Amino acid sequence: MKRSIGIVLFLAALFSGCAMRSGGAAEALRGGLTPAARNQAEAYSQFLAGTILEQNGQFDAARKAYEKAFRLDPAAAEVALSLASVSLRTGKMDDAARYAEKAAELDPGKTQALVLLAGIATSKKNYDEAIALYRKVISVDPSLEDAYLYLGTLYASIKRYKESAEMFRALERVNPSSVMSPYYLGRIYLDQELYEKALAEFQRVIALRSEFEPAYTSTGFIYELMKRPAEAIKAYKKAAELNPHNIELRQRLAQIYVEQNALDEALGEFELLVSLDPENTDAYVKMGLIHVEKKRYVKGSQAFRTALRSQPKDLKVRHYLASTLIAMELYDDAIAEYGEILKINPGDPDAILQTAYAYSRQDRMATAAPFLEKALAERPGKSELSLYLAGAYMDLERFKDAEEVLVRGIALSPDRDDLLFTLAVVYEKQVQREKMIAALRKTLDVNPDHADALNYLGYTFADAGEHLDEAVALIQRALRIKPDNGYILDSLAWAYYRKGKTRQALKVMQQAVQQVPDDPIIREHYGDIYLKLSSKDKAREQWKRSLGLDPSNEKLREKFRKADFGDPDLLQPLVKPKGGKKRRQ
């Protein structure tokens, strides 16, 4: 009840009451109020005080004022209804129901009390009781639109869609221009996944009121479900025009753009989001990820740092930031960031691994290895850790340590082909040829399509001039898996060369050089083939290229001299390619 209405009611009751009981206002002024009139006046005073307190959010004080008013005037249905309302606001559900029942008893036509009782029954999941109350409201006042809405949504919530639709159609008969009827019909069709029917209802809403934003939002949501992103975007954009501050809308638009890989458009929506909600950590994170995807690492790192200001212990965001710093080659900063992660989660395996990786990028493998040792000690069954630690030991030329780590890892995970293959490489480094071959065969037992193992074993046989038919077969299998791999092509050419198929070797080697033009071993093999074909000038050119790439190849330097190709010491070194010696992998 608004204050002005309350005052009017109070004055009307005061003067009309006095007139009826004492012969008019003049008599009241002469003789004063009767006790009953005084109670009624005080009741209205307390009621008005309660109304003001309730409007100001002082619900407990308002409740006390209403209770005093009701004690003074226990026949006042309006006071009982206000008591029910404020009791509901303060979580006193049973009191709210009791006062609402009293209000309905005092004034059977007071539909507000019945609606309140129906709402309480719904919250208690007494659905049949709530339905009966709403139907009673409609019978008392068939023009009350809210009753149809409440009952229709209640039916929908308990999956009684037919009765729900009947209520919304009844509402439309009461008020044909109301958008609520088609809007809620659309919602119940949406609940039933009747998307075309739902769309038709939302179009009716838009025809009735083109600025009704929820209809566009619901339309966009349906188009999303129907995998029609362009139409979803169009609907959401219209909704956003009508309600530019709707955060949920901006999030939906941004997400669709991300799914469509329209990253610049998504970024624009996320930027709008953070302008509306500066504490939206998720938006900053996604902005950071988009910047990183676009290789805008500085902006990405800035977005991640902003997100971390409000969520400093968010490990996922810290990982994003640290990996971005690695991409920026800011290895010290990345190591520091992973250090923060390890303070929060000391056993974080990714942080340990990436810290080791950052050290390795600084050529600090001696510092990286202890991190991996610690990680493996804490998680001995983690095969990847065995692999990474073995790799660190290999870089440090601690081959025996690498072997021991791999053997333990294989004992725990005997079907890990990557561990078996790496063990074969370690055996080769230790010049343990038979063990290397056994490890390669075991790798192929586990994974017959391991292209690197096929190539490695085939090349091993070819280089030794043994099992040449098997060597060719192994390498051809590898080539079927990786048809454009220059190193595998070189292995096949070398196997043909060993078999005496020099012309065939030359043809394959030409393909290998196209794929890997700057590998010293491939160039040496190329020269060997030309020399076998008596093409000395071409052989010299290829050996010259090889020595330019790897001047330390003493065997080739000796071959160069014996072929009377000149003094290799006078050759100009070339830029040595990264990874040139890892030709078989």
Mean per-residue pLDDT of the chain: 89
C-alpha to C-alpha distance for 430 and 441, rounded to whole angstroms: 18
Give the pLDDT band (50/70/90) at residue 511: very high
Whether the per-residue pLDDT at 30 is higher than 80: the answer is: no
Q: What token pair was written down for 488? A: 């595998």
- Between the alpha carbon of residue 223 and those of residues 183, 196, 348, 350, 358, the distances in Å are 16, 10, 41, 39, 45
In the chain, which residues fall in CATH 1.25.40.10? Answer: 1-141, 467-585
Whether the per-residue pLDDT at 523 is higher than 80: the answer is: yes
Q: What token pair was written down for 234? A: 């169009």
Read off the pLDDT of each residue in 200-208 and give the average, rounded to a whole number: 97
Confirm if 131 and 151 have CB atoms less than 8 A apart. yes
- Can you identify the CATH homologous superfamily of domain 1-141? Tetratricopeptide repeat domain (1.25.40.10)
Q: Which amino acid appears at position 298 of this protein? A: V
DSSP assignment of 447-464: -TT-HHHHHHHHHHHHHH
For the whole model, what pTM was predicted?
Answer: 0.64
Give the pLDDT band (50/70/90) at residue 54: confident
Q: Out of 1.10.760.10, 3.50.50.60, 3.40.50.720, 1.25.40.10, which CATH number does the structure's domain 467-585 have?
A: 1.25.40.10
pLDDT tens for residues 398-439? 999 999 999 999 999 999 999 999 999 999 999 999 999 999
DSSP assignment of 144-156: -HHHHHHHHHHHH
Read off the pLDDT of each residue in 458-470 and give the average, rounded to a whole number: 97
Angle at 579 between CA 433 and CA 386, to 5 degrees: 60
Cβ neighbours of 198 (radius 10 Å): 23
C-alpha to C-alpha distance for 167 and 170, rounded to whole angstroms: 5
What's 570's DSSP letter? G
pLDDT tens for residues 185-200? 999 999 999 999 999 9
C-alpha to C-alpha distance for 568 and 229, rounded to whole angstroms: 66
Residue among 101, 90, 110, 106 nearest 50 (CA):
90
- Between the alpha carbon of residue 79 and those of residues 53, 70, 103, the distances in Å are 14, 6, 8
At 255 the pLDDT is 94
At 348 the pLDDT is 86
What's 566's DSSP letter? -
Q: What percent of the chain has pLDDT over 90?
A: 73
Q: What token pair was written down for 58? A: 């002082």
pLDDT tens for residues 333-372? 999 999 999 999 987 888 988 998 899 889 898 998 998 8
At 7 the pLDDT is 28
Q: Is 302 exposed, middle or buried (0-12, 13-18, 19+ CB in 10 A)?
A: middle
Residue among 72, 102, 502 nearest 82 (CA):
102
Read off the pLDDT of each residue in 295-303 and give the average, rounded to a whole number: 97
Residue among 282, 225, 221 nearest 252 (CA):
221
C-alpha to C-alpha distance for 434 and 427, rounded to whole angstroms: 9
Between these two residues, 382 and 508, which has the higher pLDDT value?
508
C-alpha to C-alpha distance for 118 and 155, rounded to whole angstroms: 13
Give the pLDDT band (50/70/90) at residue 397: very high
Whether the per-residue pLDDT at 16 is higher than 50: the answer is: no
Q: What token pair was written down for 577? A: 């390619």
C-alpha to C-alpha distance for 390 and 401, rounded to whole angstroms: 7
DSSP assignment of 501-528: -HHHHHHHHHHHHHH-TT-HHHHHHHHH
At 575 the pLDDT is 54
Instruction: Tell me which of 104-113, 199-208, 437-446, 533-542 is least confident.
Output: 104-113
At 471 the pLDDT is 97
At 91 the pLDDT is 87
Read off the pLDDT of each residue in 505-512 and give the average, rounded to a whole number: 97
Confirm if 471 and 459 have CB atoms less than 8 A apart. yes
Per DSSP, helices labelled H in 158-246 are: 161-174, 180-191, 195-208, 213-225, 229-242
C-alpha to C-alpha distance for 537 and 380, rounded to whole angstroms: 56
Between these two residues, 162 and 45, which has the higher pLDDT value?
162
Instruction: Tell me which of 103-112, 306-315, 397-406, 518-527 is least confident.
Output: 103-112
Residue among 554, 574, 462, 465 nearest 509 (CA):
462
Give the pLDDT band (50/70/90) at residue 84: confident
Q: Which H helix or E strand runs over 64? A: helix 59-72
Whether the per-residue pLDDT at 23 is higher than 50: the answer is: no
Whether the per-residue pLDDT at 573 is higher than 80: the answer is: no
Read off the pLDDT of each residue in 48-71 and give the average, rounded to a whole number: 90
At 572 the pLDDT is 67
At 38 the pLDDT is 76
> CB-based contacts of 415: which residues, under 8 Å, 6+ apart?
446
Instruction: Tell me which of 29-33, 54-58, 228-232 is least confident.
Output: 29-33
At 574 the pLDDT is 63
Whether the per-residue pLDDT at 227 is higher than 90: the answer is: yes
Confirm if 32 and 22 have CB atoms less than 8 A apart. no
Whether the per-residue pLDDT at 123 is higher than 60: the answer is: yes
Residue among 367, 363, 435, 447 nearest 406 (CA):
435
Read off the pLDDT of each residue in 38-59 and give the average, rounded to a whole number: 87
Q: What token pair was written down for 181? A: 């009827």
